[in-house]
Chain A
């Protein structure tokens, strides 16, 4: 089995320093967005998807597990948060918490089922499970079917921050994104992350070394699902709705595409990929179904021509880990 990334660099102090510099630059750039006149709604949406893609990348890039059903976490957390906020009138912090918890629980159940098979079967199983959930949400009364849950109140986070003000909401989403990003970064560079990488490179070897690889894969799946759910809960406050499109297989495909464009198994790739794809959708919104065609072309081009993705190619060129 060939590895996903052909130039895995050892975690040296220099690599760590490089990554922290890039992270700081990213955080500063994102922090000044509201003062640049860039439409904040666009950036907030992109941040939610960036976190989602980072969570997905944790599985594929470091565990070698291609989930083709990550939209189920986005959608489930979104529906649960939206329902809690609107119908049960939960405060925002509890709404986010319960949505994320629902995604974690879903991660436990679906992870337990899907890691029973490896490789390509794993992808097909995650896709089938998310389609199962799609049909359940289509029929369940609380999701309001095709209409979705709309007009979700944003409320005051911790009773202080008024989330209906775009600038407040922007910084809340940004803090959420950065926290999630750092958690993933920490995970990748922990002993746990090293075991994950060994599973990606050679699972039978990892088993023979005494690692219970199924436990590690399940843990990674739950963590990835939970963070994807967290992104979904944040997105509820940005979009103020929760709908079936968030659970559809095409959404899972978009998550894969973002990560692929940015670079599978790179730290910053999914963020770049998410911004590229969301921007593309924004600018090409008037072209109807051609957007789907263009996404397909990007998939094909990425797989055939630059499998490392944008950030991966840059990192390869600079011989740095990014």
Chain B
């Protein structure tokens, strides 16, 4: 049973990353109509910023949690201003191709300087150790990742669904021209939205650094799984992305326990099943 709980926890952690990343993809897709292929690369950048902060500037994990999303978010906003904004009105697929190119550039540059092996990033002192819950041993850092991700996800949901700013955002998703007519600077909102989505990816990268090490290709395979998550959950609903992300992480964790051979394919298999049974995805809106 110990092993089962341990795999469940791993599943929840992976689920946190799926949720944070698919949430960002959904927010970006809503405003920019772009599937951000660079999301995995920016997640990786988040982890590297944390690594640089610690090793070059001596700023610890807690600083990284704030600084890395901001730095990567600004980098993302520059990308949006200089490149992505020119794609407005073009077929969706150009956004995919452009961001794929950006992902190749970013990953290639990091691979050149850091190879493909992992760089260690220590768990912060305050989160070291673990607690015995009776039925299992819970490493504090892992519990922290799950709880913190959940809080960030819910905060994002609240921001978009319940606040004034979120209302503008949702309105601009539906009809940007009309929202502009009300005097709201929609292009700036689009830029900020991209920054927000990318910042979430960077935050996931910082969270994952102590668990998975810091590697140039850490986001490359992850983003494909997240795409499958997005296909399963659909990008129409923020809460849908969060729930699907966590649920798939847990299912993956369970698979690692019961049938480890299928652990890296289970999400894709589920995607196929969902497409066969309910082609519009779980949240039910046609794309």
Asked whether A125 is an interface residue with its Cβ less than 8 Å from the other chain, the reply is: yes
By the criterion CB–CB under 8 Å, are A116 and B275 in contact? Answer: yes
How far is A116 from B29 in the complex, measured between Cα atoms in Å? 20
Count of A-B residue pairs with CB < 8 Å: 134
Asked whether B175 is an interface residue with its Cβ less than 8 Å from the other chain, the reply is: no
CB distance from A287 to the nearest CB of B (A): 9
By the criterion CB–CB under 8 Å, are B287 and A119 in contact? Answer: yes
Please give, as numbers and ranges, the residues of chain B lying within 8 Å of A177 by CB-CB distance.
none
Asked whether B187 is an interface residue with its Cβ less than 8 Å from the other chain, the reply is: no
Please give, as numbers and ranges, the residues of chain A lying within 8 Å of B103 by CB-CB distance.
296
B: interface residue count bin: 35 or more
When A127-B227, A303-B94 are in contact, do A121 and B271 touch as well, CB less than 8 Å? Answer: no
Asked whether B98 is an interface residue with its Cβ less than 8 Å from the other chain, the reply is: yes
Q: Which of A271-322 contact B (CB under 8 A)?
A: 288-293, 295-300, 302-304, 307
Q: Which of A128, A139, A307 is within 8 Å of B224, CB to CB?
A: A128
Please give, as numbers and ranges, the residues of chain B lying within 8 Å of A297 by CB-CB distance.
101, 105
Please give, as numbers and ranges, the residues of chain B lying within 8 Å of A295 by CB-CB distance.
101, 104, 108
Q: B90 — nearest CB in chain A belongs to which residue? A: A2
When A125-B271, A293-B104, A297-B105 are in contact, do A303 and B35 touch as well, CB less than 8 Å? Answer: no
Q: How many residues of A contact B (CB 8 A)?
A: 47
Q: B113 — nearest CB in chain A belongs to which residue? A: A289
Q: Which of B228-249 contact A (CB under 8 A)?
A: 228, 230-231
By the criterion CB–CB under 8 Å, are B101 and A298 in contact? Answer: yes
When A117-B231, A117-B279 are in contact, do A66 and B96 touch as well, CB less than 8 Å? Answer: yes
By the criterion CB–CB under 8 Å, are B275 and A117 in contact? Answer: yes
Please give, as numbers and ranges, the residues of chain A lying within 8 Å of B173 by CB-CB distance.
none
CB distance from B225 to the nearest CB of A (A): 8
Please give, as numbers and ranges, the residues of chain B lying within 8 Å of A291 by CB-CB distance.
108
Please give, as numbers and ranges, the residues of chain A lying within 8 Å of B269 by CB-CB distance.
132
Q: Which of A60, A135, A304 is within 8 Å of B265, CB to CB?
A: A135
9 nearest interchain CB pairs? Answer: A299-B101, A296-B104, A296-B105, A292-B108, A293-B108, A132-B268, A116-B279, A124-B227, A128-B228
User: Mind listing 20 A-B residue pairs with CB under 8 Å?
Assistant: A60-B93, A64-B91, A66-B93, A117-B281, A119-B93, A124-B35, A131-B228, A135-B268, A136-B265, A288-B112, A292-B104, A292-B105, A293-B108, A295-B104, A295-B108, A296-B106, A300-B105, A302-B101, A304-B86, A307-B94
